[in-house]
């Protein structure tokens, strides 16, 4: 099946620092999604990207849909303690009905 | 409030028993999904259903079964054939429109006694 490589696997940063994580794929996706998951909870959608080259912001979060349609990145600016969690990228297949998830990036923020 | 409700939050099963996890949504979504998440890993698709009375196997369907008798409900049964059932199970739903994101419930953690 399709594979999504997400990096880094984990990050430990100081409060106030900016964060960047990315996903790459061997296959093309029509839609890229970024989710955040808190411990013991379900993933919550942060940003959805629908067009190659698209750059979308949601508060301190910015994500881009790579021009080749095989990659995406998520940036978090001025991190705060509540940013702690696991961030997942996910790509929707051509039929638009099946998600493939990356392995997640665990973010830890030191106050 | 509209949303996806999974129950119970925690579930314990004896070896050799079947157990059913509930997923209900009041978002009027046509498509529903079940995922399995193991510690430190991403989500893997077990089954999905795009319309009532129809469902398809995902990547790891062996040892699981589902039904979709109502639009708002998509229960997952973990059978005794699933040899390693301990995991966090997540249900999701989406509209039937092309390329619409999936929204998740809060999960059920299944453990073997």
Cβ neighbour number for residue B59 with a 10 Å cutoff: 15
- Contacts for B24 with CB less than 8 Å, ≥ 6 apart: B4, B5, B7, B72, B73
Q: Is B11 on the interface with A (CB under 8 A)?
A: no
Contacts of B107 (CB under 8 A, 6+ apart): A40, A41, A42, B6, B9, B37, B88, B89, B90, B91
Pick among A43, A101, A102, A105 to test the B interface (most B CBs inside 10 A): A43
Contact A92 B99 (CB under 8 A): yes
pLDDT at A3: 72
**Region A21-28 average pLDDT:** 94
Structure confidence by residue, pLDDT tens digits, B17-49: 999 999 999 999 999 999 999 987 889 999 999
Residue A95 confidence (pLDDT) above 90: no
pLDDT score of B41 = 82
Is some CB atom of chain A closer than 8 A to the CB atom of B106? yes
R_g over Cα of chain A: 13
Query: How close, in Å, is residue A46 to chain B by CA atoms?
Result: 10
pLDDT at B1 over 90: no
Cβ atoms within 10 A of the Cβ of A54, count?
16
Residue A2, pLDDT > 60, answer no
Residues of B in contact with A40 (CB under 8 A): 106-107, 109
């Amino acid at each position: 099946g399709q594979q999504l490589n997400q990096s880094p696997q984990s990050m430990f940063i100081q409060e106030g620092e900016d964060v960047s994580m990315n996903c790459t794929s061997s296959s093309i996706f029509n839609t890229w999604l970024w989710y955040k998951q808190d411990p013991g909870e379900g993933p919550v959608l942060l940003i959805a990207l629908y067009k190659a080259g698209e750059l979308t912001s949601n508060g301190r979060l910015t994500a881009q849909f790579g021009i080749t349609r095989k990659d995406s990145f998520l940036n978090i600016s001025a991190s705060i303690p509540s940013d702690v969690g696991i961030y997942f990228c996910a790509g929707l297949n051509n039929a638009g009905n099946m998600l493939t998830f990356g392995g997640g990036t665990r973010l830890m923020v030191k106050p | 409030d509209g949303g996806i409700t999974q129950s119970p939050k925690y579930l314990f099963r004896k070896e050799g028993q079947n157990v059913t996890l509930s997923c209900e949504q009041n978002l009027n979504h046509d498509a529903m999904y079940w995922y399995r998440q193991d510690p430190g890993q991403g989500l893997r698709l077990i089954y999905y259903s795009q319309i009532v009375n129809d469902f398809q196997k995902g990547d790891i369907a062996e040892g699981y079964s589902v039904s979709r008798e109502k639009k708002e409900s998509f229960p997952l049964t973990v059978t005794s054939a699933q040899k390693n059932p301990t995991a966090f199970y997540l249900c999701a739903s989406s509209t039937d429109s092309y390329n619409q994101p999936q929204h998740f419930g809060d999960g059920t953690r299944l453990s073997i006694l």
